[in-house]
């Protein structure tokens, strides 16, 4: 009798225990390969929506640059320990010599790719974006040294990250569509909002005692999805199916983030964090369309 009564308890415990990410997905997140994967997919998706064929070096360069940036960010977060550390920080610090070497190598490789292949006319525009990214990076990790209190920006960190990330992904396409750039303005804004939502959701989930922010994630996600779907419908009526499809993919990502917010008690922190970035890969389906 004791054995038979214990069986339902084990089944209940199995259903109630948090769901962890598969080993490959955990490694994808812990090695900071999630951000460069999203950066490459978004870069190619913006080009696909605009019927632009990007050179291979663009995707390689943006992926390497994003990886070096995020590795550096994880290492500096672990070194300063200004905020509670997560498994990704411990993993990077445990293997800091390997990751530091990778960060330097990928940064140099990305710079070499762009210096060798980037048109001269595009270098100035990309230099401005790179300078803004470096300034943000330094201000976050050394706010007292690089930003004085009088000029310190009040823009939320999540919005800055989302804006810089999306602009970096869209820049290569933007420089190649001089005739119809206005058509890409709304998609870029929508993806900035999606990137912000991703950062905001992760920050809310990983912060303790911020129930109001946590409660708002689902509402933000569903509101953004509705607005983006409306924009997609407008582009569909303008006979621009690729841009409409790109916006529909962004709306689906927003819905996924909303679902994750509801499911977060059932997921381990690593599974939740990895799934949040996995949700941003919906435009990958578009790239299979010729």
pLDDT digits (tens, 9 = 90+) for 4-47: 555 454 544 445 577 888 999 999 999 999 999 999 999 999 99
| 97 has pLDDT over 50 | yes
Total count of domains within the chain: 1
Angle ∠(25,257,194) on CA atoms, nearest 5: 105
3-state SS class at 267: strand
| 109 has pLDDT over 70 | yes
Tokens 């870069």, located at residue: 43
Domain of 244? 21-288
Confirm whether 144 is domain-assigned: yes
Beta bridge partners of 267: 19
Q: Which helix (H) or strand (E) holds 165?
A: helix 157-174
pLDDT digits (tens, 9 = 90+) for 262-284: 999 899 999 999 999 999 999 99
pLDDT for res 282: 97
pLDDT digits (tens, 9 = 90+) for 152-166: 546 678 888 899 899
Angle ∠(148,151,152) on CA atoms, nearest 5: 75
In the chain, what is the straight-line distance between the N-terminal and C-terminal CA atoms, in Å? 62
pLDDT for res 146: 45
More confident residue, 215 or 95: 95
Mean pLDDT of 226-240: 96
Mean pLDDT of 121-146: 57
Confirm whether 139 is domain-assigned: yes
Label residue 122 by pLDDT band (50, 70, 90): low
Closest CA to 277 of 93, 14, 25: 25
Q: Which two tokens stand for residue 87?
A: 């498994």
| 196 has pLDDT over 90 | yes
Tokens 């390997």, located at residue: 98
Confirm whether 56 is domain-assigned: yes
- Whole-prediction pTM value? 0.85
Confirm whether 45 is domain-assigned: yes
**Rounded Cα distance, 253 and 273, in Å:** 14
CB 258 within 8 A of CB 215: no
Helices (H), the chain: 2-16, 23-30, 34-49, 56-80, 87-94, 96-117, 120-141, 143-146, 157-174, 185-205, 211-237, 241-263, 269-278
pLDDT for res 38: 97
Confirm whether 70 is domain-assigned: yes
Mean pLDDT of 130-139: 59
Helix 269-278 vs helix 34-49: crossing angle, to nearest 10 = 20
pLDDT for res 1: 44
Mean pLDDT of 177-194: 91
Confirm whether 90 is domain-assigned: yes
Give phi and psi for 210, each to the nearest 5. -120, 60
Closest CA to 62 of 140, 134, 167, 175: 167
**Rounded Cα distance, 223 and 218, in Å:** 9
Furthest CA-CA distance within the chain = 79
Confirm whether 7 is domain-assigned: no
pLDDT for res 12: 47
**Rounded Cα distance, 201 and 217, in Å:** 6
Confirm whether 13 is domain-assigned: no
**Rounded Cα distance, 243 and 46, in Å:** 8
């Amino acid at each position: 009798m004791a054995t038979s009564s214990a069986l339902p308890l084990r089944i209940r415990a199995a259903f109630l225990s948090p769901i962890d990410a598969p080993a490959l997905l955990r490694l994808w997140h812990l090695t900071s390969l999630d951000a460069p994967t999203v950066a490459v997919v978004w870069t190619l998706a913006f080009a696909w929506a605009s019927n632009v064929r990007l050179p291979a070096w663009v995707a390689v360069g943006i992926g390497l640059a994003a990886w070096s940036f995020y590795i550096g960010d994880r290492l500096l977060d672990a070194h300063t320990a200004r905020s509670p550390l997560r498994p990704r920080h411990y993993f990077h610090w445990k293997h800091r010599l390997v990751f530091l070497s990778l960060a330097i190598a990928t940064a140099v490789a990305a710079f070499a790719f762009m210096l060798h292949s980037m048109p001269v006319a595009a270098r100035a525009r990309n230099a401005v974006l790179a300078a803004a990214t470096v300034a943000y990076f330094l201000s976050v990790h050394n706010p007292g040294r690089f930003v004085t209190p009088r000029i310190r920006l009040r823009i939320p960190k999540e919005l800055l990250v989302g804006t810089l990330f999306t602009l970096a992904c869209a820049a290569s396409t933007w420089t190649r569509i001089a005739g119809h750039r206005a058509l890409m303005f709304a998609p870029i804004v929508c993806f900035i909002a999606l990137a912000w939502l991703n950062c905001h959701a992760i920050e809310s989930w990983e912060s303790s005692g911020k129930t109001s922010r946590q409660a708002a994630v689902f509402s933000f996600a569903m509101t953004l999805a509705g607005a983006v779907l409306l924009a997609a419908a407008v582009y569909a009526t303008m006979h621009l199916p690729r841009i409409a499809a790109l916006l529909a993919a962004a709306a689906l990502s927003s819905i996924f983030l909303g679902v994750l917010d509801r499911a977060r008690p059932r997921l381990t922190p690593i599974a939740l964090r990895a799934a949040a970035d996995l949700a941003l890969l919906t435009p990958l389906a578009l790239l299979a369309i010729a």
